[in-house]
Amino acid sequence: MDILPVFLFRGEVVDRVVITSRQNEQIKWAKRLQQKKYRDQDALFYLEGVRIVEEALETGLVHSLYFTDRLSSIARGQELVKHAQELKIPLWKCTEQVLSELTDTVNSQGVVAIVHKPTWPLKTQGVLLIADEIQDPGNMGTLLRTAVGAGVQGLLIVDGSVDLYNPKVLRSSMGAIFHLPHWFFSREAVLQLIASRGTALVVADLVDAVNYWEANYPRDLAVVIGNEARGVHADFRDRANLRVKIPLMGPVESLNASVAAGVLLYEILRQNGSVHPPLLA
C-alpha cells in the first residue's frame, strides 16, 4: 500500500503509518542519494542533524523529511517537525533501525532531510576561491565554512575535487553550503572565465613569490587552493597575476589546505575591508 506522510492535528504529530521496513520504497529511494551519481541525477542531497536541518528549512529547499521518536521526544524536535509541516514539507516517521539506513553518523539525532541543491547566477566580482582538486572531505567542508566567514563571494570547484554534497563535506561546512555560491568547471574553463572577466589570479607558491602580507591584493581576485598532495596545478601557476607564500617557521613542509586558505583570505579581508555585503541571509 502507499505510505502516507504524518500530519499535525491541533499541534500534535499524528502517525498515519510508521515506516518499519528497510525495504520500504520511500527509504530505498532516499538511500540512493548516498551515491554521487544519484545526487547529480536528481539534484538532491541529504542532511542529518537538528541544527543543520533547522537551517535548511529556512532556505525553502527542503524536499522531504524523515524522523523518529528520538526527534519528536524533545521540544526542539517538536518545533522542527511543526515548522516543516507548516511549510507543507512531506514528513515520514520511521523506526530508529529504518532511519539508520539513511544516516552517516554513529549517533543519529533522529532526523534526515532531503534537500534540493541550491543554484546561483555566475559572478566574478569580489573575492573568489578556486578549489583545485581538493579531495579530502574535511578540508573541503572547512574551506566552505572559512570562505563564508571571510566574505568570499563564490567558490569555483575544479573537476576532480571531492563532491561538495558528500555527507562528510556537509558536516564540516556546518551549513555554509547554503550561503556560499558555488559552481563546477573544468580547470581550463575556470582559466578562461577568469581571463575573460579580468579577474586577478592569486596562487600560493614558493617560486618568485612575496610574503602574503607584503602583496597588494586587488578587489576583484580569485585565490587558488591546490590539491593536498600536489599543490597548485602548473596551469594556474603559469597564468597567475600574483604569487604569494606563507612562511613556515617550524619543521613542516606545508599547511593544511583549508588553513592556508584562511590565512590568505583574512589578509585579503584586512587589506580590502568589507567590500561586498555579507553572504549570510
Output the pLDDT for position 106: 77
Does residue 263 share a domain with residue 137?
A: yes
User: Can you give the CATH number for the domain in which 181 is found?
Assistant: 3.40.1280.10
Does residue 98 share a domain with residue 18?
A: yes
Does residue 183 share a domain with residue 105?
A: no
pLDDT at 280 over 90: no
Query: Cα dist. 167→11, 46, 173 in Å?
Result: 32, 8, 10
**Residue 277 domain flag:** no
pLDDT at 243 over 90: yes
**Residue 278 domain flag:** no
CB of 89 within 8 A of CB of 64? Answer: yes
pLDDT at 273 over 90: no
Strand order in the sheet with 182-185: 182-185, 154-158, 127-131, 221-225, 200-204, 242-245, 210-211
CB of 50 within 8 A of CB of 77? Answer: yes
pLDDT at 43 over 70: yes
Does residue 159 share a domain with residue 221?
A: yes
Output the pLDDT for position 240: 95
Contacts of 195 (CB under 8 A, 6+ apart): 239
Quote the CA–CA distance of 48 and 271 in Å, as a whole number: 38
Phi-psi sector, 72: left (phi>0), alpha (psi -120 to 50), beta: alpha
Does residue 60 share a domain with residue 158?
A: no
Does residue 262 share a domain with residue 184?
A: yes
| CB-count burial class (<10 Å; 0-12, 13-18, 19+) for 255 | middle
- pLDDT tens digit sequence for 141-187: 999 999 999 999 999 999 999 999 999 999 999 899 999 999 999 99
Q: Which of 60, 95, 116 is at the close of a domain?
A: 116
CB of 86 within 8 A of CB of 147? Answer: no
Quote the CA–CA distance of 37 and 241 in Å, as a whole number: 36
**Residue 46 domain flag:** yes
Burial 209-248 (b: 16+ CB within 10 A, else e): beebeebebbebbbbbbbbeeebbbeebbeebebbbbbee
Mean per-residue pLDDT of the chain: 89
Does residue 87 share a domain with residue 205?
A: no
**Residue 146 domain flag:** yes
**Residue 122 domain flag:** no
Across the range 200-216, mean pLDDT stands at 91
Give the three cell numbers for residue 174: 556546518
**Residue 121 domain flag:** no
pLDDT at 16 over 60: no
- pLDDT tens digit sequence for 93-147: 999 999 999 998 878 899 999 999 999 999 888 999 999 999 999 999 999 999 9
Does residue 99 share a domain with residue 149?
A: no
Q: Which of 81, 116, 151 is at the close of a domain?
A: 116
Does residue 111 share a domain with residue 132?
A: no
Query: Residue 79 is part of which domain span?
Result: 7-116
Across the range 200-229, mean pLDDT stands at 91
Quote the CA–CA distance of 251 and 231 in Å, as a whole number: 18
Per-range mean pLDDT, top range of 84-88, 207-211, 254-258: 84-88
**Residue 281 domain flag:** no
Contacts of 89 (CB under 8 A, 6+ apart): 57, 62, 63, 64, 65
Q: How many domains does the chain have?
A: 2
Does residue 58 share a domain with residue 138?
A: no
User: Can you give the CATH number for the domain in which 20 is found?
Assistant: 3.30.1330.30
192-196, 197-201, 233-237, 276-280: least confident range: 276-280
Output the pLDDT for position 256: 85
Phi-psi sector, 4: left (phi>0), alpha (psi -120 to 50), beta: beta
Pairing of strands 62-67, 154-158: unpaired
Does residue 106 share a domain with residue 49?
A: yes
Quote the CA–CA distance of 84 and 151 in Å, as a whole number: 30
Does residue 155 share a domain with residue 90?
A: no
CB of 48 within 8 A of CB of 101? Answer: no
- pLDDT tens digit sequence for 46-96: 999 999 999 999 999 999 999 999 998 999 999 999 999 999 999 999 999
Q: Which of 63, 89, 116 is at the close of a domain?
A: 116
pLDDT at 279 over 70: no
pLDDT at 15 over 70: no
Across the range 16-26, mean pLDDT stands at 87
**Residue 1 domain flag:** no
